Each structure stands twice: as structure tokens, then as C-alpha cells.
Amino acid sequence: MTALSRERIGTLLARQGILIAFAIFIIAFTLANPKFLTVDNVFSVIRSSAILGVMALGVTFVVISGNLDLSVGSMMSFSTIVVLDLHDKIGPLLAIPAMFAMTLALGALIGLLVGYLKLNSLIVTLGMLSAIHGLTLTYSGGKNMDIADKEGTWFSVFGQGTALGVPVPILMFLALAALLGIVLAKTPFGRKVYAVGGNGTAATFAGIRRARTVFTCYLISAGCVATAGLIQASRSLGSQNTVGQGLELEVLAAVILGGASLMGGSGTVFKTVIGVLILGFIQNGLLLMGLQFYVQFVVTWIIIILAVWLDIAAKRGRLWSPIA
């Protein structure tokens, strides 16, 4: 094999390696268990991935803008607990917008600190992860939340309902993906997000309000988290106050798997959806093979390392460092 051929293969693996690996996983899981690619199982995987997917859509904007958001897991716990608590106090019709308002306020706070005060997004969101978790425990008094009348509420439609035979969580996920995909790819704001993430200094000199763009990205992320919290609360009509704990890493893994660069400036909503499905189908395939659920954590870690490696390799055009 010539050096040119090796270089081409390396470039192909760097840019499309995760899709090739996904195809190999799909084939292997299908051979191991014929139920893997049945319609019922596919719907089940997408439905169970909807919450993670909705959160990943918002984080895509944040990552493309050159920042991180590690607070989404704790924020989802907060939104779930709040909407469940307010459901019995003021009714679902008022509880839903109230929860959205409170979650957006948290996103606005993060956007203010990162966008306008220009603090490091990793430090800010890592701190907010703990702060929001504490806020959730304080709000709930350390107790889990349940809706009193689970049989007599229409609130369950968001997590348990179906329309035209398709589960509502899937429809919400796909509708939000379509909307945000158009915003990111076809609007001036979307172009600003790419510009800020690609080169913030150049974007500023070009007249783009960098702080406002970053602030808006965190608002979008918070709105997606609130939507995920709504689906989660509606699915079980009750929740532990740590329901979102650890999801931030899975969300970030899905976004990076979809091709968004940790360095900012690249990525698409469509590819994030693919990244979410990759995680969902791999986890489902492991369960169908009889492996314990905790094996997923190890696999997720491996996938994150692989995704970051491929991301860096795609930037330099080869899998290995030229120094090595």
C-alpha cells in the first residue's frame, strides 16, 4: 500500500470513521439478535433517546459557538422536579410555562456569565452543575416528586401519548430538530453562531455581537433542557431529584459524535441527531446481547475518547500526529 493510499484511508477514517464503526456495530448487533432491527425495537430506541436528543440539540448550538455546557443534566433534574411539583399546586396549564420560565432564567444566568462577563464556560457550567443540583434538592426538600392524580391528568400526553401511531416524544424530538436545524443552517443567527465559534475575534471585528450570540445559544440550550424535563416528567408522572445526573456527558458525547468540534465553528443539528441515535442503538444492542446496563458507562467513555480523537484527526487530516 502506497503512502498516498494510507493517507487517503486515514483521512476517510478521520472524517467518517464513527459512521463506519456505527455500521459495523449495527451489523454485529443484528447478527447477534434478529430483534435488533425490528420496527418495535427501532421505535423503542428512538423514543428512549428522545430526552437525550432534545438536550443535545441545544448543546449543539453551545458547542458550535465555541463553548461547553456541563449543567444540562442538573438543569433537567430541576425542570422535571419543578413541573411535577407545580402540576398539583397550580395545574399543568400554568405549571409548564412556569417551569420553562425558571429553566430559561438559569440559562440566562449562564449566558450572562459566559457571554457578557467572558468567564470560562467549562468552569462556569461545572460550577452551575453543582449549584443547580443544590437548588433542586433545596426546592424539593430532598424528596422525590409524584403527581397525586396520575389517572386524571392530560399531562401524560408528552411522554406517553401517540399520534398517528408514533410516540409523542419522537415527534417532539424530530420537530424540534427540524426547527433548530433550519435556524442553524438557514438564518443569519445560525451564521453568527458558526462565525463566533470559528473565530470570535474576527466575528467581533465583522460587527457580530459575540456576547449576545453566546447568550442566545445558552437560552436555546436551556429551552431544550426544559422540553426534555417536560417529556421526562410526563413519561413517569413522578421523578427522583437526581434524574438528570450524569446526562451531561452523554449529551456531549452525542454532540461530538455527530461531528461538532470541541474547538467550535463546526457541526450540524442533523449530525447531532445521528450521534444521538448512535449512542441509543449501541446501548440497546449491548442490552440485547445480555450485557449489564453498567457496561454502557464503559462503552460511552470509549466512544467519547474515540470521538475526540477523530475530531482532532479530522482537523489535521490524519489519524496520527505527524510528530509520532
For residues 121 and 61, the answer to whether their CB atoms sit within 8 Å is no
Range of the domain at 108: 20-26+35-315
Q: pLDDT band at 1, cuts 50/70/90?
A: low
Residue 324 within a domain: no
Residue 266 within a domain: yes
* Mean pLDDT in residue range 98-103: 97
Rounded to whole angstroms, how far apart are CA atoms 184 and 294? 35
- Evaluate if residue 201 carries a pLDDT over 70: yes
CATH code of 221's domain: 1.10.3470
What pLDDT is recorded for position 236? 86
Cell of 50: 428522545
Residue 298 within a domain: yes
What pLDDT is recorded for position 170? 94
Residue 186 within a domain: yes
What pLDDT is recorded for position 70? 94
Look over the chain and give the mean of its residue pLDDT values, rounded to a whole number: 87
Number of domains in the chain: 1
What pLDDT is recorded for position 13? 55
CB neighbours of residue 196 within 10 Å: 29
Higher pLDDT among residues 154 and 35, named by residue: 154
Residue 10 within a domain: no
What pLDDT is recorded for position 150? 83
Residue 5 within a domain: no
Higher pLDDT among residues 219 and 275, named by residue: 219
Residue 12 within a domain: no
For residues 221 and 228, the answer to whether their CB atoms sit within 8 Å is no
* In 36-167, alpha helices (H): 39-64, 72-90, 92-111, 121-140, 157-160
**What is the tens place of the pLDDT at every residue in 42-100?**
888 899 999 999 999 999 999 999 999 999 999 999 999 999 999 999 999 999 999 99
Residue 47 within a domain: yes
What pLDDT is recorded for position 149? 80
**What is the tens place of the pLDDT at every residue in 297-306?**
777 677 667 7
What pLDDT is recorded for position 311? 59
Q: Are strands 166-167 and 238-239 parallel, antiparallel or unpaired?
A: unpaired
